[in-house]
């Protein structure tokens, strides 16, 4: 009986499920390991949605605290990483609704380094403008675009995270493209 390509993924998911159960039963070491395993995902997601390091770090810290209080409520209907994504997105939205440093770092997603060649500088400026425009989209369109294009998730995976049908994600992406064409 040979191993399939899915075997390492299934093994990792089993380890995560075991850690979740232990964390739900009050095991602080298991919870710390879950946070350590998912911190890069949390921070990277927050960075892409916020566009700057300071806000991403604030959101990541907030998410880690929220996970501590919410872990008991994780029911396993979705992948743990999808659940963490949703909590991260909600934390970003909470921060943005509060107006905390809103727009102050809108251009921070793509940095232009002085040593870059003109073509690289132009590409970075274009990327910065694109992502700044994406952040101005309505919430559902922005989420769909960032999940599909920035995170490189399938429409199905984005739908699971957003809590909508796959066709709805496709529609949000389509509407976002139309809006972005008008903005850019």
Tokens of 151: 């995170």
CATH of the domain at 77: 1.10.1740.10
Helices and strands (H, E) in the chain, number of each type = 8, 0
Mean pLDDT estimate for the chain: 81
pLDDT tens digits for 39-95?
999 998 898 888 788 889 999 999 999 999 999 999 988 889 889 999 998 998 888
Q: Is residue 66 part of a domain?
A: yes
What pLDDT shows up at residue 101? 44
CA 137 to centroid of chain Cα atoms: 16
Say how many domains are in the chain: 1
Q: Is residue 143 part of a domain?
A: no
pLDDT tens digits for 108-125?
444 444 554 555 545 555
What pLDDT shows up at residue 50? 83
């Amino acid at each position: 009986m040979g191993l399939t390509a899915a075997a390492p993924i299934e093994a990792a998911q089993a380890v995560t499920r075991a850690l979740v159960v232990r964390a739900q039963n009050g095991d602080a070491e298991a919870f710390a390991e879950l946070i350590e395993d998912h911190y890069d995902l949390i921070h990277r997601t927050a960075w892409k949605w916020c566009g700057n390091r300071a806000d991403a770090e604030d959101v990541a810290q907030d998410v880690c605290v929220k996970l501590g209080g919410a872990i008991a409520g994780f029911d396993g209907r979705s992948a743990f990483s999808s659940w963490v994504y949703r909590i991260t997105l909600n934390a970003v939205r909470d921060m943005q609704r509060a107006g905390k440093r809103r727009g102050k770092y809108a251009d921070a997603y793509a940095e232009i380094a002085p040593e870059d060649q003109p073509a690289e500088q132009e590409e970075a400026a274009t990327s910065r403008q694109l992502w700044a425009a994406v952040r101005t989209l309505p919430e559902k369109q922005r989420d769909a675009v960032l999940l599909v294009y920035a995170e490189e998730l399938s429409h199905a995976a984005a739908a699971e995270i957003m809590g909508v049908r796959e066709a709805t994600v496709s529609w949000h992406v389509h509407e976002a493209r139309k809006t972005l064409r008008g903005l850019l």
